[in-house]
Amino acid sequence: MEYLTSNPSETKKIGEKLAKKILHFGKPSKPGQAQYRARRMRDSAFVLGLVGELGGGKTTFLQGFAKGLGIKEKILSPSFVIMKRFDIKHKTPTPFKAFYHIDCYRIEKVKEILNLDFKEIISNPQNIVAIEWADRLWKILPKDTLVLEFEFKNRSKRKVKIRNIPLWISTLDKNS
Ligand code: ADP
Ligand code: MG
């Protein structure tokens, strides 16, 4: 799935929509629905891997994503902090309790991340984990990581490509 955005708000909007879909994991749904099956099968964190050049819109996207999770705090480029944790307290029922924003831009060795209890964080089904510069950690990411690629088109246009998107997420309309 590919989206072309013309400004930061559109990129945020896609992030917000995706977050809302992911939260719906927690909504009671009838057995037999794809959503129900996906929820039953989940036994680790929901992991998003964001890749693409500097200024591609990864952090901007996550600002919208956090908004969609109901997080009020501001999501910043964590240049000096590798990892930040936010509580998820959403009005709709959701099995997710925490959102982790990880930025691997400054890490040199995978070990630096492992030292931060990374394995525990990604194995907890109550966590949603978004990782900028995820390509630096491919080896240790779960196979079902949702991969988002950000491409710089020009000053105000970006392309966001979502790979291996599960069926239950389907389309994310940036205009509605
Ligand atoms: P990254 O985290 O990938 O390095 P950021 O989200 O921090 O990227 O930066 C993206 C920059 O590009 C921001 O300054 C943002 O305002 C600007 N920008 C311009 N157009 C867009 C767009 N269509 N989508 C996202 N960001 C955009
Ligand atoms: Mg960033």
136: domain CATH number? Answer: 3.40.50.300
Q: Which atom of ligand 1 is nearest to the CA of 132?
A: 2
pLDDT of res. 28 = 46
Please, what is the average pLDDT of the chain? 87
Gap between the Cα atoms of 88 and 72, Å rounded: 10
26 has pLDDT over 50: no
| 174 in any annotated domain | no
Compute the average pLDDT of residues 21-43. Answer: 62
Answer yes or no: is the C-beta of 39 below 6 A from any ligand 1 atom: no
Per-residue tokens: 12: 């945020």
Q: Which residue has the higher pLDDT, 162 or 30?
A: 162
pLDDT at 172 over 90: no
Choose between 160 and 76: higher pLDDT.
160
User: How many A from CA of 109 to the centre of ligand 1?
Assistant: 26
Give distance in angstroms: CA of 107 to centre of ligand 1.
21
Sheet holding 146-152, edge to edge: 2-5, 158-162, 146-152, 46-52, 127-132, 98-103, 83-87
Q: Is 135 part of any domain?
A: yes
The pLDDT score that the predictor gives to residue 13 is 97
Q: What is the mean pLDDT of the segment spanning 152-167? A: 89
Task: State the Cα–Cα distance between residues 39 and 22, nearest whole angstrom.
Answer: 10
What does the radius of gyration of the chain's CA atoms come to, in whole angstroms?
Answer: 15
- The finding on whether 54 has its CB within 6 A of some atom of ligand 1 is yes
Is the C-beta atom of 7 inside 6 A of ligand 1? yes
- Could you tell me if residue 8 is inside a domain? yes
User: How confident is the model over 71-99, as pLDDT tens digits?
Assistant: 999 998 866 678 999 999 888 788 899 99
pLDDT at 164: 75
Residue 124 counted as domain residue: yes
Does the C-beta of 55 come closer than 6 Å to ligand 1? yes
Which one of the ligands is nearest to 77 CA?
Answer: 2
> Who has greater pLDDT, 35 or 42?
42
Spatial separation of the C-alpha atoms in residues 61 and 12, rounded to whole Å: 5
Kindly give the number of the ligand 1 atom that is closest to the alpha carbon of 61: 6
Would residue 119 count as lying in a domain?
yes
**Residue 80 falls inside a structural domain:** yes
143 located within any domain: yes
DSSP-derived secondary structure letter, 62: H
Query: Is the confidence at residue 143, as pLDDT, over 60?
Result: yes
Does residue 95 or residue 159 have the better pLDDT? Answer: 159
- Domain count of the chain? 1
Q: How far is CA 133 from the centre of its chain?
A: 12
The domain in which residue 152 lies consists of 2-169
C-beta of residue 132 within 8 angstroms of C-beta of residue 161: no
* Whole-number pLDDT of residue 93: 81
Nearest CA-CA partner of 143 in 26, 17, 43 = 43
Distance from residue 57's CA to the centre of ligand 2 (Å): 7
Tokens of 36: 């129900």
Secondary structure string (H, E, C) spanning 103-115? ECCCCCCHHHHHC
CA of 40 to the centre of ligand 2 (A): 32
With respect to residue 131, please indicate whether it lies within any of the assigned structural domains: yes
